Chain A
């Protein structure tokens, strides 16, 4: 069987922060490949390095040592502008606190990355409506974030992450601000996304996001390994 192409690959990844002349290693020797169509859930306690790993995989942060190849490009060799453009075109982000622009409607929030990419208004509107329908918010497209529940805001954020048809979606504790029931619905939506071909890396405490078909990895003290039985 032919292997699917690698979307992002980390090799011997190290990330150390310096605070008051003290070195704090956040990620240590992590190697990981994410292929097209994968759904990887990274579990770990707070401070284990999950979010740092996600930032490194998405080109938000750069490694102290080792490398991240995002769609074949070494993130350390890209300028800030190129990294930003790469994220815009190829990576979708879902945040714990949604980070929608409060002045914009759900539809406008979803249109935002497309507008930045230069898509025409008609195309943007059609795509945004299609995505909001996909995440179950067809009736709420004109609502502003302040008029939406947490679960609805996260659905908008997911639709926004999908706007430019990314090769990879990275989610940082996407159910962290939601109650168990709503978190379960979002987890269900992630499974649906993956079933429809979206490549996902999710860092989470939430076991609901680590259900099959997710391949579960565990992080501890900056290191990563597949969960037993994976």
Chain B
């Protein structure tokens, strides 16, 4: 059984392991890098107000990709529970520990057993803990959705302005087409199709930029925080929503602009 010790231990490098067997610990990779420690090195670990103990670095591990701790710059190590208790100088001082179950194990039964064995302990399913810890991120997520809504609305207005300007540019062209005998239907379909194509291209470009942008953002922040967390993602579901909104916007604006082009007579279209 191993446990994560947070903020309680102070680590100090002392050099290579000696002959007598020392207890082992695992260092979080960022901690090991910061302290220039490698597997096989010996470290002094001290708890607050207690004696120091030497450990040998058995290896390193990556900190779990947890958005709530990604910005913390603390040192982290994993110790065996007996070693940790020795270090703390008191038994039964472990606040939390995680239990991984084999696939198919009865989680509820295990939780009940832990509750029975350890008086005062509360066992929680990881989903519950994650759920409780995620409220902040849910708020952030809602905030992002609101931003997305504003962005999409702004883009739709931008597309509308673009198309209206284009229609203004092309009024004479439209008038001439009507005069040479191109039907309202054909002209409407042209304008509609063109607008829809613009919306589709814009949507595709937006998705491509989003996808590329998320790659850059992830690469940058993964480097900064040394984590595997995804900071930005363009999921298939998101892409579908964007495509649906883009298409709907294109259809609505296409109908509007197509109608603008054909509702007047050619002579009216020619008027400034």
Contacting pair A84 B178 (CB below 8 A): yes
Question: Does any Cβ of B come within 8 Å of A137's Cβ?
Answer: no
Question: Does any Cβ of A come within 8 Å of B173's Cβ?
Answer: yes
CA distance A10 to B186 in the complex (A): 30
Partner of B181, one of A88, A97, A101: A88
- Seen from chain A, the residues whose Cβ lies within 8 Å of a Cβ on chain B are 55, 58, 60-61, 80-81, 84-89, 91-93, 95, 97, 99, 101, 112-113, 116, 160-161, 164
Q: Which residues from chain A contact B179 at a C-beta distance below 8 Å?
A: 58, 60, 87, 93, 95
Contacting pair B180 A61 (CB below 8 A): no
Partner of B180, one of A55, A81, A161: A161
What are 30 A-B contacts defined by CB distance under 8 Å? Answer: A60-B267, A61-B267, A80-B184, A80-B265, A81-B183, A81-B184, A84-B178, A84-B182, A84-B183, A87-B181, A88-B181, A88-B183, A89-B181, A91-B181, A92-B180, A93-B176, A93-B179, A93-B180, A95-B179, A97-B172, A99-B173, A101-B177, A112-B180, A112-B182, A113-B181, A116-B181, A116-B182, A116-B183, A116-B186, A164-B181
CA distance A87 to B178 in the complex (A): 9
CA distance A87 to B184 in the complex (A): 13
Q: Which residues from chain B contact A84 at a C-beta distance below 8 Å?
A: 178, 181-184
Q: Which residues from chain A contact B186 at a C-beta distance below 8 Å?
A: 116
Number of residues in B with C-beta < 8 Å to the partner?
15
For the complex of A and B, 5 pairs with smallest distance between CB atoms:
A88-B181, A99-B176, A87-B181, A93-B180, A60-B179
CA distance A55 to B177 in the complex (A): 14
Question: Does any Cβ of A come within 8 Å of B266's Cβ?
Answer: yes
CA distance A99 to B179 in the complex (A): 11
Contacting pair B182 A88 (CB below 8 A): yes
- Seen from chain B, the residues whose Cβ lies within 8 Å of a Cβ on chain A are 172-173, 176-184, 186, 265-267
Who on chain B is nearest to A17 by CB? B267
Q: Which residues from chain B contact A87 at a C-beta distance below 8 Å?
A: 179-181
CA distance A85 to B173 in the complex (A): 18
CA distance A60 to B175 in the complex (A): 10
Least distance between A62 CB and chain B CB atoms (Å): 9
Least distance between B165 CB and chain A CB atoms (Å): 16
Q: Which residues from chain B contact A85 at a C-beta distance below 8 Å?
A: 181, 183
Least distance between A70 CB and chain B CB atoms (Å): 12
- Which of B178, B182, B265 has the most C-beta atoms of chain A within 10 angstroms of its own C-beta? B182
Contacting pair B173 A88 (CB below 8 A): no
Least distance between B259 CB and chain A CB atoms (Å): 15
Who on chain A is nearest to B173 by CB? A99
Q: Which residues from chain A contact B173 at a C-beta distance below 8 Å?
A: 99, 101
CA distance A39 to B177 in the complex (A): 24
Known: A87-B180, A101-B177. 7 other contacts (CB 8 A): A60-B266, A84-B178, A84-B182, A85-B181, A88-B182, A95-B176, A99-B177
